[in-house]
Amino acid sequence: MKKGLIRLNSAIISAASVVGKKEHEGPLGAYFDMHDEEDRFGQKTWELAEAEMQRLAANLALSKGGFKENDIDAIFAGDLINQCTSSAYGLLEFDIPFLGLYGACSTAVEGLIFSSIMTSNGIYERCLSVTSSHNCSAERQFRTPLEYGAQRSPTAQWTVTGSGAFITEAADSENAKGKAKIIEAMPGISVEKGIRDAGNMGAAMAPAALYTLLRYFDESGNSPRDFDLIATGDLGYEGNSILRDLLLSEGIKCGKELNDCGMMIFSRETQDTHSGGSGCGCSAAVLASYLLPKLENGELSDILLLGTGALMSPDSIKQGLGIPGIAHLIRIKGAEK
């Protein structure tokens, strides 16, 4: 197998989340920093609303950490919309070097990998990584506008309206005391298994998640039982079930330690989201609002976060191409007591 494990020494010293109405009504609603009842965030279009979410999340992360704009050396940001429109416009006011990313729904973890590499090696003192997704902007780009009223298949996921922002710094810095540490990363390899259904992204992404986990376990010597939680980015219920079966075929049985951010953010019983949540904002908002506090207060001590993404485009779907999946991994240790 290809080698890819990266040892890191970075800390997430501040984080913030901004979400929409449906996310606020879900099981994690009380944990998010900010929400908007109309999903518009004071803007005229859904795309501008998503850009505003990134601006708000970035400013909240700065404020919560006690930082100003000139304390940040670089921004790593991306989203789902054409040429990362939401990131480009949402972060336009920041006079900070901007590096745009596209990892589909894996973008949150991809940004944290780059930020951690830079801060662990002293290239930058402090980085900001930001991502977002919006249900209304993503649906009309990748599937059909909501006004069309198309019926969604049972395997389809609900794109999360949300944004997450994270500030990273070297783990041995003064600001890193009491904060969760990113100690390892495993960048993913694109995997395409012939899935062409844009309404079943879980099936497209699950093989990539399997491949990254197998590579990680092989190189690190760890196994699922070594972690409190292995959280995939947004495979949803369909993809989570497929991943469990794929792991079992490799002789790896996972129990409750294997979960998914797309399953956590919505209630399957009370919210009609079919196979769960998806989108760049899904794992970003769950990590910023829910998982990081648990890592800081000792409820969780050692987790893997596996950002999963479907690397499709509107044109690739129209042309009948298979959907490549990607899965980037980071290992996050809880705060030292």
DSSP, residue by residue, 263-328: HHSS-TTTS--TT-EESHHHHHHHIIIIIHHHHHHTS--EEEEEEEEE---HHHHHTT----EEEE
User: Judging by DSSP bridges, how do beta strands 34-35 and 98-100 pair with one another?
Assistant: unpaired
**Structural Rg of the chain based on CA atoms:** 18
182-333 adopts what CATH topology? Peroxisomal Thiolase; Chain A, domain 1 (3.40.47)
pTM to 2 decimals?
0.95
Q: Quick check: helix, strand or coil at residue 96?
A: coil
> What is the CATH architecture of 9-170?
3-Layer(aba) Sandwich (3.40)
For residue 317, the model assigns a pLDDT of 79
pLDDT tens by residue, the chain, 337 residues: 457 999 999 999 999 999 999 999 999 999 999 999 999 999 999 999 999 999 999 999 999 999 999 999 999 999 999 889 999 999 999 999 999 999 999 999 999 999 999 999 999 999 999 999 998 887 766 666 666 556 666 777 788 999 999 999 999 999 999 999 999 999 999 999 998 988 788 999 999 999 999 999 999 999 999 999 999 999 999 999 999 999 999 999 999 999 999 999 999 889 988 878 899 999 999 999 999 999 999 999 999 999 999 998 888 878 989 999 999 999 999 987 6
How distant, in Å, are the alpha carbons of 186, 245, 331, 337 from that of 229? 17, 18, 10, 20
**Where would I find the beta strands (DSSP E) of 162-292?**
162-170, 181-186, 229-232, 258-260, 277-278
For residue 147, the model assigns a pLDDT of 60
Task: Please determine whether the domains at 9-170 and 182-333 fall in the same fold group of CATH.
Answer: yes
Q: For the chain, what are the domain ranges?
A: 9-170, 182-333
